[in-house]
Structure 1
Amino acid sequence: MVRLLAALVGVLLVAGCATLPDESQPAAVPQQELGQITNPDLQQPPHDLDPLTIVRDFVRASAQPIGNNAAARMYLDDVAVKQWQPSKVMNVIEDQFNTVYATGGDQPAGPNDVVVVVRGTALGTLDADSSFIPSRSTYELKLLVRKQPDGQWRIVNPPAGMVVPYSDFTANYVRVPIYFFAPDSTTIVPDLRYVAGKPQSGLPARVMSLLLAGPSDQLVGAVRSPLPEDAAIEGNVVNTPDGALVVPLAGVGDQTPEAKKLIAAQIVLSLQAVTTNRIRLLSDGVPLVGGHEDWLFTDVPSYTSLASPSADQAGLMTSGGRIRSLADGAPIPGPAGQGNYQVASAAQSIDGKQLAIVENLGGRQQLRIGPFGGQAQPVDLFGGTLTRPTWRPTTTADGTAGEVWTVVDGQSVVRVARTPDGGWTGQAVNAEEVLAVGSISALRLSRDGARAALVVNGQLLVASVVRTQDSVTLRSPRILGAGALSGVVDVDWLSQDSLVAATTMPSQPVVKVPIDGLRLDAFNSSNLTPPVYAITAAPGRPIVVADSGGLWTASDVGEVWRPHPHSVGSHVAPFYPG
């Protein structure tokens, strides 16, 4: 009777599982997939779908990583279900895409096989390190669809690199800033990554996995992590009954107290996008930071003070060869405001204490640097054109360090560094990768110093700033909004991870773009008179743009531009510190 009962139970279990999809071979679950459901309760596709619909639904289901891409496997034949091993690289395309039958020799002769072509516009790829790399291009994928013995069509050759529409990607993946530090200061630097949104309980573990793996490929060498290479998670990142999220670390116990505080800040700030719980940081079972076991986001001190203009820095503008205040339109004190220099452009250091000035001088331009309100000494740097200067953030609280960048004649990126005797000397920056795209007409260093935004041949680029003992290099430039954004004339940093740009495009004279270029938001163009030729922005400040009618301000994409109360003269160029 026992054996008979067991046999009956086995028959019932097999019958109950008959509609479940086949599973791939067992595999170790990486840290970022901890807590994911391996057998989600999915319904089979509706009966008698045509091959075009099968492929379209497969593409949309590919954005769901849960259960080893179980939703997408529903559209594969039995062999492909078991053999498909999609890579971590994912192609993101526009929502509007076509599925059409292949023609000519690409189409099999037999009645049970058809080739379906997916055609769309690629926006870029989600790389293996979970960062998005923009690369707008035409996308095409050919899939073989075969009629199964039960009469249903299924895909035979799923691609290793999945393709997903933008809306499905953003619905299933969460953008998370993973935080690292500037190489020579305690200023935090965000590294944008995308992690699977479901199951939600596993989000903190997936974020911690990325943090422990280090910065994305683009930021390698541009940032540092206080976490040692052998740091790891000892156990699981889980919520406790008392409402804390436990992060059990191993391999960090021998770090200095100061390094442990930086590690705590790095973890807490990186997790703030995925949890509201208290974060319990443990190292080998004891609090990571002595006397401070549980952390709230408000417990972390500011690590952006050296990269943020103070509230009393209202911003400046150049007008008629002089520098004036954006606060009241009055000339600033000293020779730069009195017209002693024919100011073509200028930049104020983040602490507000210094000015870098590009001066028109006898048919060419020269750089001057000096204290705000004082004499600006000439620097041995000349050219037919010099781009508006940009300041590297100071690395010490007293503001004595300093470095100014500019581009000479569109081809030579130069950083002008302070010398021990108080002078300034220019040194070349390796910008070969950027110059391969074209001539540089604008350059703005991020206020954390890890990146540079550039306008190159009317295109918007972001590159990392990699420093070694002997050189400084602009590395891994990426074009943002390629194909959708052109005629860019100026750019500035709205925040550490987003830019605003001015363009000659009548339909979108001002745009906002994240530093990974995944999307592009056009500002309201009401009241502007294109072309807009200058723009400035800073965290917590209104954006200021200049067009033929003067200066205009707005704080958000949907706002109507308002006249700036202190627009003075023609061809005014505003700038915030940085």
Structure 2
Amino acid sequence: MGAEGGGRRRPLRVAASAGCCAVLLAGCASMPDSGDLRGVESTPRQDSQVRVFAVPPRDDARPEEIVQGFLEALTSDDPGYETARKYLTDAASKTWQPDRSTTVLADGPYRSGEHSGAREGSGEYAYTLTGRKLATVDSQHAYAPDDGSYDETVHLVRLKGTKQWRIDGLPHGVVMGKSDFQRNYVSVNKYYFASNDPSDTDGQTGAVADPVYVRKQVDPMTEMVRTLLDGPTRWLAPVARSSFPSRTQLRKGVKSLTPDDQNRLTVPLNERVDRVGQSQCAKMAAQLLFTLQDLTPTGVDEVELQRSDGSQLCVLDEAAAEIIALHGTGKPPEYTYFIDGDSRLVRMPSGGGRVPEPVPGALGEGEKALRAAAVARDEDTAAGVSLDGRSLYVGSLVAGGSLGEPVLRSDGGTEKDRLTTPSWDGRGDLWVADRDPDRPRLLVLAKGAGEPLEVTAPGLDGRIEAVRVAADGVRIALIVEKDHKRSLLIGRIEREDKEDGRPSVSLLELRSVAPRLEDVTAMSWAGDSRLVVVGRESGGVQQMRYVQVDGSTPVGSAPSGLTGVKEIAASEDEQLPLVAHSEDGIVRLSPGSQPQKVVKDGMAPVYPG
């Protein structure tokens, strides 16, 4: 699934536009003046290299043609929506804000028209646009699922001088159907750094992906640089920071950014960066490289940042960027792990090989029978949950290592009411949920030891059934059960020290990222901003799909079909195969290949994390 080359872990999303052909949207379909309800035909899905342009209104166009042409112009690749503005009066064009939001509808939008005055010659007309919302993209380019109804009015007048119909009243933003949105927009991760992230021994900090949607054929590279400079989206901002000084912008007069033939991008900035030191500049350039790496087929290999006077501030290439910040997993995991038929923790090479071996140390020697485990991201330490779900052990993955006493015990009355599979974050902290009905808790153990700290989660409504923390340590995925339904939620992890010096960890602004799945049974992180999910829709059958942390569906192939999946494991390195526990045992799922059975007796597969 991932792109080839150093550090590129996400699929290529934007194709080159040079030499593309253009498709014109005629904008002149006829429709009745009033009464019935019609849908605006979505533009047929085009090849990613085809650019679509609208045409301006023809002379003496009827009101329905003006509305139709305007709606079609919204789906074109016209920079600044200049053609769409030709359907508006001068006053409406000055106040209309297309960048405020993009509303995505299941179909349509549908529109019905009626005269505003008592008779047709009154010089006014109004149309109602309706539809079922799927999502909204806000002014920060952030995507959010939405299942409400869309109901807005477009008002037209006949201009006194030219006698042409034009729109003088309309909602701010842009509206279009799902297929047009998929053709027009592309999801791209912009990157920041985790706030309060203690750098590891190598001095690296963790990069945090912040997915946004931009128009794929309207200079997406320049737009991504601008939105990166604007800072993290509102949901992520409390736990992410940018190395760019506040109010940093492109130098005045810079309209477009394009890499040269050596894949080097020069980014001229304003006076806010003139006094930035080399260390900070390198972090700024690393953010840019991570953000822009997949916006062309060959990527951006090197970034030069310039001061406001045009002098060079710093230059950074991909190799140096990977040293500055941990991007995704940092390094690919060496092994995939699972619990074998003897209730031991075993491993097999992550890139291939089908002969598992017990891990070194007590967890692989069968000293304690296990039903689930989690391996730290450095693969030196692991945590295991006892077969009855009551006890959590932590041990080193070295020969001769012992377990000692459990680091946590649950008092739940049954196995299903005890500990979940644990998860390690990029800081080396261990997370687990206790499902005891009398005291349900989400807990974190610093470095996998010491007194468990209870995480406050004021927005949590239901019982946690599964926990997976992202590598960045600031986002967490949960399966939460309420009223016999299991949902997939993403929360933001905020940490602070209380006045008495004790640490405090909170889980805030939980949001659903797979709202149409009413029974989620398994999930795992499968990229910097992507998860793989096993679940079913209402009345449907079990399915496996990828979802973005913002609730959108990523471009690309779905996982290989597999029935009876009970557990799923994926790596943030998207090039590695999925590993599932299904009715056939432990199965490896590589992109484009048939499922490969590893062993019949096994469960609880995991990658480090």
Give matches, 1:67-78, under 5 Å: 68-77=80-89
Report which stretch shifted further, 536-545 or 125-134: 125-134
Kindly provide the CA deviation profile for residues 416-466 of structure 1, in whole angstroms up to 9, marking residues without a partner as x. 1148xxx42211222222x13x33211211112221122223222222222
Alignment partner of 2:239: what SS? coil
> How far does residue 53 in structure 1 lie from its aligned partner after superposition?
5.9
AA matched with 1:464: R
> How far does residue 58 in structure 1 lie from its aligned partner after superposition?
3.0
Contact 2:186 2:213 survives alignment (8 Å)? yes
> How far does residue 232 in structure 1 lie from its aligned partner after superposition?
4.0
1:534 pairs with 2:555? no
Kindly provide the CA deviation profile for residues 182-222 of structure 1, in whole angstroms up to 9, marking residues without a partner as x. 2313222221123344543xx44433322222111111122
AA matched with 2:281: K
Contact 1:318 1:343 survives alignment (8 Å)? no
Question: Aligned in 2, Cα 1:198/1:574: closer, same or farther, shift over 3 Å?
Answer: closer
Alignment partner of 2:152: what SS? strand
Counterparts of 1:177 and 1:522 in 2: how far apart (Å)?
Answer: 19
AA matched with 2:604: A
Other-structure match for 1:135: 146
Kindly provide the CA deviation profile for residues 358-388 of structure 1, in whole angstroms up to 9, marking residues without a partner as x. 2245xx6222222125333312442432221
Contact 2:430 2:444 survives alignment (8 Å)? yes
Contact 1:368 1:378 survives alignment (8 Å)? yes
Contact 1:308 1:350 survives alignment (8 Å)? no
**TM-score scaled by length of structure 2:** 0.74
AA matched with 1:427: L
Other-structure match for 1:487: 519
Question: Aligned in 2, Cα 1:412/1:55: closer, same or farther, shift over 3 Å?
Answer: farther
Question: Aligned in 2, Cα 1:132/1:241: closer, same or farther, shift over 3 Å?
Answer: closer
Other-structure match for 2:549: 515
> How far does residue 288 in structure 1 lie from its aligned partner after superposition?
2.0
Question: Aligned in 2, Cα 1:508/1:241: closer, same or farther, shift over 3 Å?
Answer: closer
Consecutive unaligned residues in structure 2, runs of 5 or more: 1-51, 200-204, 349-353, 499-503
Alignment partner of 1:414: what SS? strand
Contact 2:89 2:168 survives alignment (8 Å)? yes
Other-structure match for 2:104: 92
Question: Aligned in 2, Cα 1:224/1:365: closer, same or farther, shift over 3 Å?
Answer: same
Counterparts of 1:41 and 1:356 in 2: how far apart (Å)?
Answer: 56
Other-structure match for 1:101: 112
Other-structure match for 1:369: 394
Question: Aligned in 2, Cα 1:217/1:232: closer, same or farther, shift over 3 Å?
Answer: same
Instruction: Pick the aligned partner of 1:195 from 214, 229, 233.
Output: 214
Instruction: Give me the identity figure in percent.
Output: 28
> How far does residue 272 in structure 1 lie from its aligned partner after superposition?
3.1
1:503 pairs with 2:535? yes
How many residues are aligned here? 509
Other-structure match for 2:452: 426
1:469 pairs with 2:497? yes
Alignment partner of 2:359: what SS? coil
Other-structure match for 1:7: none
Structure with the greater alpha carbon radius of gyration: 1
Other-structure match for 1:215: 232
Instruction: Pick the aligned partner of 1:162 from 174, 180, 200.
Output: 174
Consecutive unaligned residues in structure 1, runs of 5 or more: 1-39, 395-401
AA matched with 2:266: V
Contact 2:54 2:72 survives alignment (8 Å)? no
Counterparts of 1:123 and 1:563 in 2: how far apart (Å)?
Answer: 36
Question: Aligned in 2, Cα 1:566/1:371: closer, same or farther, shift over 3 Å?
Answer: same
1:314 pairs with 2:346? no
AA matched with 1:265: A
Instruction: Pick the aligned partner of 1:404 from 430, 451, 466.
Output: 430
Give matches, 1:37-76, under 5 Å: 43-45=55-57, 54-64=66-76, 66=78, 68-76=80-88
1:329 pairs with 2:325? no
Give matches, 1:235-384, under 5 Å: 235-237=252-254, 245-249=265-269, 250-274=271-295, 279-284=303-308, 285-289=310-314, 293=315, 295-297=316-318, 300-302=321-323, 303-304=325-326, 307-308=329-330, 310-317=332-339, 319=341, 321-326=343-348, 327-361=354-388, 365-372=390-397, 374-376=401-403, 377-382=405-410, 383=412, 384=417
AA matched with 2:494: V
Question: Aligned in 2, Cα 1:142/1:269: closer, same or farther, shift over 3 Å?
Answer: same
Alignment partner of 2:287: what SS? helix
> How far does residue 274 in structure 1 lie from its aligned partner after superposition?
4.0
Question: Aligned in 2, Cα 1:89/1:524: closer, same or farther, shift over 3 Å?
Answer: closer
Other-structure match for 2:26: none
Counterparts of 1:512 and 1:210 in 2: how far apart (Å)?
Answer: 25
Other-structure match for 1:29: none
Alignment partner of 1:159: what SS? coil
AA matched with 2:606: F
Question: Aligned in 2, Cα 1:517/1:329: closer, same or farther, shift over 3 Å?
Answer: same
> How far does residue 57 in structure 1 lie from its aligned partner after superposition?
4.3
Alignment partner of 1:233: what SS? coil
Counterparts of 2:328 and 2:402 in 1: how far apart (Å)?
Answer: 25
**TM-score scaled by length of structure 1:** 0.77
